[in-house]
Amino acid sequence: MAVSDSPSGGSTPPQQEQQPNKYAFTKPLSLAGPTHADLQRNNELDKFLLDSGLYESNEESAARKEVLHRLDQIVKNWVKQLTRQRGYTDQMVEDANAVIFTFGSYRLGVHGPGVDIDTLCIGPSYVNREEDFFVILHNILAEMEEVSELQPVPDAHVPVMKFKFQGISIDLLYASISLLVVPEDLDISHGSVLYDVDEPTVRSLNGCRVADQILKLVPNVEHFRTALRCLKFWAKRRGVYSNVTGFLGGVNWAILVARICQLYPNAIPSMLVSRFFRVYTQWRWPNPVMLCSIEENELGFPIWDPRRNPRDRFHTMPIITPAYPCMNSSYNVSASTLRVMMEQFRYGNKICDEIELNKAQWSALFQPYIFFEAYKNYLQVDIIASDADDLLAWRGWVESRLRLLTLKIERDTNGMLQCHPYPNEYVDTSKLCAHSAFFMGLQRKEGVRGQEGQQFDIRGTVDEFRQEINMYMYWKPGMDIFVSHVRRKQLPAFVFPGGYKRTRMPRHISHQAEKTGDDATKCYSGSGSGSSERCIKRKSCPEMVDKKPGKPDKRASISPQRLECVSPESCTSKSGGTTQMSIECIEVVRLAGSTTKDANDNCEVKSSDALPGSGLSTEVADMQISEPGFVDTTHDMLKSRSVEIPNENGVLNGDKAQDLALDCLESAETESTNSLSNYKEGDNDTDQRLDKECNFIPRAECSDYVPNASSQNLNCEVSYFI
């Protein structure tokens, strides 16, 4: 079996701290090693990770190795069976072979208990993906008692088959290489495996090739693993770990952490975690994060190059894979999800600063993000099916397309309405049918005042989204999706722990807010005594009124369609009704730890979910937003810059790259951790020249536009009366 007993898939590269430039294509920011205080914090971090259950037991490790061995035998027998059926000689049948490689967290050595194993099956040229893998091997696995929850996803960007084998989750990819016989000791790091293969195969192979390259490019593998394990845990707690939703997945976090290891080659894990937040709060996206130079190859596969490829100019947060062909592994990130991640990076940076000043413990960094108390308005996406098996496939399809809804809303509102898709899935167990739900926070863009009567209508946006969802090729009767607007006070009980809502916002984090403008709301929080003062909203502003003069009180009613399609009592409704809503001022709300920028806090929400002509609607009285303790969403320092200078041959030359304006970061390391104001003279001119060369445009692109041809969906009118 090709998979190594070591989760890393190979031996640990030699550690040579004396020669840090061996691992990076730019100079490090600091060669400093740990102090006594750093060592103490590192011991505390190790203990915290161990106590948090992030390491699997020896029994679990042995079970994983056994599953991989069994899977290797299954694919070998599968290839021999196909070889025999296709009339090859007995010798060919005997030599026929397939091998299993691992990638992702298991190959990097940072997997924890209960996580899935990313695996790649490499087979000979005459065994294809469409029929042999997704049909014949699928049927073989479906008949095995050890296999459960089998879910093929053939139309994914990287085609995959998901299942559980003896209770262990497996993501299995397939790559057919241009060899009649696959050797047991195949070296996938060699470029020859890419000869005469299609792009889905290249993407499948790249998972293993990238993992190996990452391990070769970090100065200290063990320090890298500990820091990565820590930051993946943090990302999951803060709700920003999900590639499919538009945040970052495992390979993205691995590359980001590996880059910090290169910039601080002698740092230990506690230092790397702190430097991670310090660097990436100052990173000027869409500058790409790269571990090595981008190189071309005679094979001619497309590489990430914003100068040659117009689509690459629209990438919001480029994180480039280190193996040929170099790709942007974070193409799913949108302007909205980048905004959310930047807020979380600033949150992490502030906590790490307090840890270094002995004002906080490591546990404070991993406080869970309270998503359902962060926004006033949400979109609720209910997914239903006739049974659990149908829901598994249907939910996977809908979840994989949710990021498009974010992109479409950004596109159709010119970025004025910001979305925060939450990657967690919620289930209403009171429903009679198989059910799943996802939520998306809504707010208008901060710092932009709406005009009287201004509206953003996303009815067509949701119609278009539903049309694409309904194009699912494996659709079955009973599969349906409903999109509805809910206010925070209307959130269903099943999203809260224990099935009921909190009566008031928890103040689990206490930070003194900064003043961000004349109209800013000031928040003051107590310390030590446990007492805290509420945020004080200025009442003198004439724009801040509780209710419009002369406007009668509003009463709420619930439409039949709302009860029929979303209520716990029934899931047998017919789709096709028109759900209407208008949000008169989607307000800016904050994460814990900062202040507001606008004084536009008066918010009125109207929502009507009604069948055409029914005359029934839901109207909600005016509400005033005065929630304290949320992080400022402004990130003005994010400017469009390029870090690669094309040479006379048009090739991106990494030797000339100025990654993140290293001079700036170097001064920031010694003088400041809060801004990028310490640029040397001439940096701005260089930035402008680089901008002109690569023509970066910091916006998201949605290429999957389908003309709106239906009106059977959500009507969302967003208005600002300020």
pLDDT digits (tens, 9 = 90+) for 122-138: 999 999 999 999 999 99
Instruction: Report angle CA 316, 261, 672 to the nearest 5 degrees.
Output: 75
Better pLDDT: 589 or 252: 252
Q: Which CATH superfamily is domain 371-447+455-487 in?
A: Poly(A) polymerase predicted RNA binding domain (3.30.70.590)
Residues in the chain, overall count: 722
Better pLDDT: 127 or 698: 127
Q: What is the DSSP letter of 567?
A: S
What SS3 class is residue 204?
helix
Query: What is the pLDDT of the chain when averaged over all its residues?
Result: 73
| Top-confidence range, 126-135, 437-446, 688-697 | 126-135
Q: Which residue has the tokens 């550690």?
A: 15
Say what the pLDDT of residue 451 is: 57
Say what the pLDDT of residue 218 is: 95
pTM of the entire structure? Answer: 0.70
Q: Which CATH superfamily is domain 56-214 in?
A: Beta Polymerase, domain 2 (3.30.460.10)
Q: Return the half-sphere exposure (C-beta side, CA atoms, 13 A cut-off) of residue 137.
A: 32
Domain pair 24-53+218-369 / 56-214, same fold: no
| Top-confidence range, 10-19, 352-361, 403-412, 678-687 | 352-361
Which residues, in sequence order, are CB contacts of 704 under 8 Å at separation 6+?
Answer: 404, 468
**Which residue, among 327, 355, 172, 330, has the nearest Cα to 240 in the 3D structure?**
330
Strand ranges (DSSP E) for 182-224? none
Residues belonging to the active site: 105, 116, 118, 171, 232, 241
What SS3 class is residue 149?
strand
* Cβ–Cβ under 8 Å, residues 464 and 407: no
- Give backbone dihedrals phi and psi of 655, rounded to 5 degrees, phi first: -65, -25
- Domain 24-53+218-369 sits in CATH at 1.10.1410.10
**Which residue, among 441, 376, 451, 416, has the nearest Cα to 622 in the 3D structure?**
376
Query: How many Cβ atoms are within 10 Å of 619's Cβ, its own excluded?
Result: 15
Q: Domain segments of the chain: what residues? A: 24-53+218-369, 56-214, 371-447+455-487
At 633, the pLDDT band (50, 70, 90 cuts) reads: very low
What SS3 class is residue 484?
strand
- Give backbone dihedrals phi and psi of 717, rounded to 5 degrees, phi first: -110, 120
Residues β-bridged to residue 117: 170
